[in-house]
Structure 1
Amino acid sequence: MKSICISLLLLCSLQAQAGVTVVEPWVRTTAPGQKVAAGYVRIVSDKDVALVSANSSFADKVEVHEMQMDDGIMRMRPLKQLELKANTPVELKPGGLHLMLVGIKNAVKAGDAIPLTLVFEDKKAARESVDVVFNGRAVAHQGMEHHAH
């Protein structure tokens, strides 16, 4: 009976730790020689947190970027962190918020598995790392949002 109680407590603590859910992670395919790639995903957390960093063995660095209209021109800029409100999904998608993989090691092909670690921080500065595998995916017509890199 004691081992059952301990097992239940461990299970509950694992669920409490797993407060961030990542859904449908993918990276847009790239041309040979291209040094950047864009990653997209839907994230939801059961508490207020911020995505404070990301990294991948596939790229030199990973940044969170946002797209904004500025004097009629769509511009991209990095964010220091991305705030997530409890139980409110945030979608990183083409033409909006996205992950920018800078200094990619190889071209991204459809079906590639690209490992990333997303690091979240709560209001008490407690950090949670979430390891995610992003899938390479071709897009029918490539957007212009990343051609300036």
Structure 2
Amino acid sequence: MTSRILVLLGAALLSTQALAQVSVTDPWIRATVPVQKSTGAFMGVKSAQPARLVEVRTEAAGRAELHEMAMDGQVMRMRRVDGIELPAGKPVNLASGGYHVMLFDLKRQLKEGESVELVLVVQDAAKKRQEVKVAVPVKPLSYSAHSGH
């Protein structure tokens, strides 16, 4: 009986360790003005194993979507995507002008200096899902990740 419990505990530790292999770097959300109902969230996401970012949730917005900005001829277009591939060990940058997160139907103004929790849902090759909670700082309207902070 004791050995069975140890095996189960060991398996639980290994599965927890396997799921905890997604990291997020430099997250930020653009601040809003009082009547604004949408904004963007940006960050770096890296998975140790091949995975796919499939969903984002937050209490601060009515809905959160994964988006991509891409050129369509001479026009830059933004469109919703069902997921973003996370190749094993390679960082994926969610940034203005490419893949990013859009927050719609904001429930309140997002002010510089506060933090908003996002839940990233990542799916592995076996279709198992992991939730990664991230406290994301709200940056000024004029902030750009490329401006040297």
TM-score > 0.5 by shorter chain: yes
In the alignment, the residues of structure 2 paired with residue 139 and residue 61 of structure 1 have an alpha-carbon distance, to the nearest angstrom, of: 21
TM-score by length of 2: 0.84
User: Match for 1:51: what amino acid?
Assistant: L
- How many angstroms does 1:139 deviate by? 4.3
Partner of 1:104: 106
SS in 2 for 1:22: strand
Sequence identity of aligned pairs in percent?
Answer: 36
Q: How many residues align?
A: 138
In the alignment, the residues of structure 2 paired with residue 17 and residue 141 of structure 1 have an alpha-carbon distance, to the nearest angstrom, of: 33
Deviations 1:39-69 (A, max 9, x none): 0010000001111111100001110100011
In the alignment, the residues of structure 2 paired with residue 24 and residue 53 of structure 1 have an alpha-carbon distance, to the nearest angstrom, of: 19
Partner of 2:34: 32
User: Match for 1:22: what amino acid?
Assistant: V
In the alignment, the residues of structure 2 paired with residue 107 and residue 95 of structure 1 have an alpha-carbon distance, to the nearest angstrom, of: 23
User: Match for 2:93: what amino acid?
Assistant: E
TM-score by length of 1: 0.84
- How many angstroms does 1:12 deviate by? 5.4
In the alignment, the residues of structure 1 paired with residue 22 and residue 119 of structure 2 have an alpha-carbon distance, to the nearest angstrom, of: 12
- How many angstroms does 1:134 deviate by? 0.9
Q: How does 1:64-103 map to 2 (within 5 A)?
A: 64-103=66-105
In the alignment, the residues of structure 1 paired with residue 73 and residue 97 of structure 2 have an alpha-carbon distance, to the nearest angstrom, of: 17
SS in 1 for 2:127: coil
In the alignment, the residues of structure 1 paired with residue 41 and residue 30 of structure 2 have an alpha-carbon distance, to the nearest angstrom, of: 6
SS in 2 for 1:43: strand
SS in 1 for 2:18: helix
- How many angstroms does 1:31 deviate by? 1.5
In the alignment, the residues of structure 2 paired with residue 87 and residue 141 of structure 1 have an alpha-carbon distance, to the nearest angstrom, of: 28
- How many angstroms does 1:126 deviate by? 0.7
In the alignment, the residues of structure 1 paired with residue 21 and residue 39 of structure 2 have an alpha-carbon distance, to the nearest angstrom, of: 27
Q: Once superposed, what is the RMSD of the aligned Cα atoms?
A: 2.0
1:60 to 62, 83, 89: 62
TM-aligned CA distance change 1:30 to 1:96, over 3 Å: same
Structure 1, unaligned runs of 5 or more: 143-149
Deviations 1:17-47 (A, max 9, x none): 2110011111001111110010001000000
| More moved, 13-22 vs 96-105 | 13-22
SS in 2 for 1:111: coil
Partner of 1:146: none
Partner of 1:21: 23
